[in-house]
Amino acid sequence: RNLILFQRSTVPRKNVIEFRPPLYKQRYFFVKDIVNQYKPKKVADLGCGNATLLCMLKFHSCVQELVGVDLLMDRLLDWNSDKLSPSIGDHLGPRDLDLSIVLYRGSAVEKDSRLLGFDLITCIELIEHLDSEDLAKFPEVVFGYFSPGMVVISTPNSDFNPLFPASTFRNSDHKFEWNQTQFQHWASNVAKLYSYTVEFTGVGVPPPWAKHVGYCTQIGIFKKKQPDPGSWILAKPTGSRVSEPEEHAYQVIDPRKILHAHKWCQSWSTVFTASFPSLQQKHFLLFVLCTEVLKEVEAIRQKYVWIMKRKESSEPESEEDTDSGLVRRPGLFLTDAQVAQIEKSPKPYSVGKRFYVPLKRLIGYPKVNRLVADVSTLRTLLAEGIPMRLNRAHTSVQIDLDPYDYPHDYR
Ligand code: SAH
């Protein structure tokens, strides 16, 4: 026991390399940053392993299609299929845009037309698992055939290996581990051959006393130079600005090309599919819209009755009694412009035991406006949604007042 302790303590501290966060997470975060920056719509991860990266990417609102491909899927899928499936929260708060996730069992060096037209393909710690025959096929399949807007390839940097205590490959299945010169030579040739640019970077910063060895994981970022007419173009980097869906600058690949290719090239087997609820699907839009409208109408009713009661009790006038007092309420964050817009719209009113909020007013509330842009669409959707009472002219939503709040007509 003492001996072991003694031996451990004699390992020079500088030789114990530890990454925080762990290196595999740094690789995933690297890809997440790329996705944040370039907002790809269709992303595929070749050699996806247990699909952890895909689980992380499903939270990016720009991504609408996520595909994972791996030779071995079965043993890994069990524990992650739940994380890749829509949860109850995804149903209650659907995404803005559709998202489908598909996992295929297959080899990254086989052509499959279902991977045509992607914006980003990632190969994280994959190439070093390919034998020389597969490695030779890889560029033609990924860059020549799949030909996505962007490719991110990561692989161990063997220049870093002397910093580890053991001088073997980092994983027993690795067929090779390249130094920086070898990787950059291979990647530059591939980029040149298939008309991509390539930049080199990495994750896993070396300790200050060994800066010369470079990153522990080396990464090549390949961008397609001049896309063929009719192929996909990646959106321009948008920095930290939030991009709206319509800002994507994609050109759609000629569908005949895909349909034709589908007939003759499908080699992978599908192991998992999931389709996420989104506001692009009408029944989810209706559900969310009706919920938001009812919440808004109910909150407006409470404020309205409260103000009317204040007036009746002849309390001194306060800011609450003004028009903007009726619009504002705790927890509702509106800009002054939004308040002014709502104030200008027709006011809520009550008749007998009924309370009405004009649709023209409702559309001014951001949570409603986010879902529908104009009054006529709002009217049509509310008529189709969960039974929602409108007045006869179909201009206002109608709910009941609390019996305690009428016999008065608050007009
Ligand atoms: N990308 C994952 C897993 C890396 S390990 C991560 O970063 O966590 C390498 C993975 O590549 C393994 O899951 C292995 O099964 C897979 N793999 C190896 N050869 C492959 C091939 N020809 N096609 C697809 N996947 C392959």
Compute CA 39 distance to the chain's CA centroid, rounded to the nearest angstrom: 9
47 C-alpha to ligand 1 centroid (Å): 3
Phi, psi of 194 (to 5 degrees): -110, 20
Give the pLDDT score at 253: 47
Per-residue pLDDT of the chain (411 residues; tens, 9 = 90+): 333 333 444 444 455 788 999 999 999 999 999 999 999 999 999 999 999 999 999 999 999 999 999 998 766 666 678 899 999 999 999 999 999 999 999 999 999 999 999 999 999 999 999 999 999 999 999 999 999 999 999 999 999 998 887 767 888 889 999 999 999 999 999 999 999 999 999 999 999 989 999 999 999 999 999 755 555 555 444 444 333 433 333 334 455 555 555 556 788 999 999 999 999 999 999 999 999 999 999 999 999 988 888 888 877 777 766 777 888 888 889 999 999 999 999 999 999 889 999 999 999 999 999 999 999 999 999 988 766 788 989 899 998 887 776 555 554
Q: Kindly give the distance from the C-alpha atom of residue 172 to the centroid of ligand 1, in angstroms, as a whole number.
A: 13
Question: Does the C-beta of 285 come closer than 6 Å to ligand 1?
Answer: no
User: Could you tell me if the CB of 124 is within 6 A of ligand 1?
Assistant: yes
175 lines ligand 1 (CB under 6 A): no
Nearest C-alpha neighbor of 42 from the set 241, 285, 231:
231
CB 32 within 8 A of CB 67: no
- Asked if 179 contacts 246 with a C-beta cutoff of 8 angstroms, the reply is no
| C-beta of 69 in contact with ligand 1 (< 6 A) | yes
- Counting from 1 in the atom list of ligand 1, the atom nearest the Cα of 45 is 1
Which residue in 343, 311, 348 sits closest to 327, CA to CA? 343
Do the Cβ atoms of 45 and 37 come closer than 8 Å?
no
Under a CB-based contact definition with an 8 Å cutoff, are residues 191 and 198 in contact?
yes
Q: Is 121 in the pocket of ligand 1 (CB under 6 A)?
A: no
pTM value is 0.82
* Total residue count of the chain as it appears in this document: 411
Between CA 334 and CA 332 the distance in angstroms is: 6
Beta bridge partners of 99: 276
Give CA separation, 400 vs 302, 387, 404, 406, in Å.
12, 14, 11, 10
Q: Collapsing DSSP states into helix, strand and coil, what is residue 222?
A: strand
Residue 339 has φ and ψ, to the nearest 5°, of: -60, -45
Cβ atoms within 10 A of the Cβ of 35, count? 21
Cβ–ligand 1 contact at 129 (below 6 Å):
yes
Minimal-distance CA residue to ligand 1 atom 8: 49
The count of other CB atoms within 10 Å of the CB of residue 61 is: 14
Cα 362 from Cα 386, distance rounded (Å): 17
Q: Which ligand 1 atom sits nearest the alpha carbon of residue 108?
A: 23
Question: Is the CB–ligand 1 distance for residue 103 below 6 Å?
Answer: no
Say if ligand 1 is within 6 A of residue 16 CB.
Answer: no
Question: What integer pLDDT is reported at residue 7 of this predicted model?
Answer: 41
Burial per residue of 229-267, b for 16 or more beta-carbon CB atoms within 10 angstroms, e otherwise: eebbebbeeeeeeebeeeebebeebeeeeeeebeeeebe
Q: What does the pLDDT read at residue 77? A: 67
d(CA 44, CA 255): 19
pLDDT value of position 312: 82
215 SS3 class? coil
Separation in Å, CA 296 to CA 56, 258, 348: 33, 46, 12
Kindly give the distance from the C-alpha atom of residue 50 to the centroid of ligand 1, in angstroms, as a whole number.
Answer: 9
Rounded Cα–Cα distance for residues 327 and 300 (Å): 8
Protein residue whose Cα sits closest to atom 7 of ligand 1: 124
48 lines ligand 1 (CB under 6 A): yes
Residue listed under structure tokens 């201009």: 395
